[in-house]
Structures are given as C-alpha cells and as structure tokens.
C-alpha cells in the first residue's frame, strides 16, 4: 500500500498574493512611487488599509476606499500612533 501526503514548503517570504476583494470596487491610497513602479513592473503594492494588489486601472473611475481615506485623513503621525496601538493590543 502506498501513502499519499502533502508537503508544505516554507520560504520565509511574505505572502504577497493578491486577493479578489474590493480592489475592483475602490481606489486605494499607496505610495505614489510604488504605484508607478507597480504599473510598469506588474508588482503588488500595499495600500494604507493593508490591501495588497497590482494596480492596473484608472483609480479616478472608482470611489475611494473608506479605510484608506480615514487613515489618510489622520496624517502620517496619526497613522503611526494607530498602528502602534494595534501592535500593543
């Protein structure tokens, strides 16, 4: 009798697979230079809300992600404070 099994290989790299979530419905905030690079190279970027996606569409055609907008409105210092508070809890 032969056994069948599965094997998981861990690379130590973060999982940057894009998902099929709201990227079709919202425009997200991300670093401008990263978005430009991603549009040219086809690499994923990370939005303020944590969404990982490969930008390929005109964001002006979509409403802004509410979480990205909220975090953008906090400003850089406000975002840092919130992200630190999340890590502590």
Q: Are 16 and 51 in contact (CB under 8 A)?
A: no
Residue 39 lies in a domain: yes
User: What is the structure's pLDDT at 2?
Assistant: 56
Ordered per-residue pLDDT tens for the chain, 89 residues: 555 555 545 444 444 444 555 446 899 999 999 999 999 999 999 999 999 999 888 889 999 999 999 999 999 999 999 889 988 88
Q: Are 55 and 35 in contact (CB under 8 A)?
A: yes
Q: Which two tokens stand for residue 1?
A: 């009798």
Residue 16 lies in a domain: no
Residue 9 lies in a domain: no
Residue 17 lies in a domain: no
DSSP assignment of 36-48 equals: HHHHHH---EE-T
Domain holding 54, by residue range, is: 22-88
What is this structure's pTM? 0.66
Residue 13 lies in a domain: no
Residue 7 lies in a domain: no
User: What is the structure's pLDDT at 73?
Assistant: 95
User: What is the structure's pLDDT at 3?
Assistant: 53
For the chain, how many structural domains are there in total?
Answer: 1
């Amino acid at each position: 009798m032969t056994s069948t099994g599965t094997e998981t290989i861990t690379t130590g790299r973060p999982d940057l697979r894009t998902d099929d979530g709201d990227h079709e419905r919202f425009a997200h905030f991300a670093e401008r230079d990263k978005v430009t690079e991603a549009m040219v190279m086809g690499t994923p970027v990370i939005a303020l809300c944590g969404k990982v996606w490969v930008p390929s569409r005109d964001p002006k055609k979509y409403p802004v992600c509410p979480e990205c907008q909220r975090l953008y409105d906090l400003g850089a210092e406000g975002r840092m404070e919130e992200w630190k508070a999340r890590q502590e809890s």
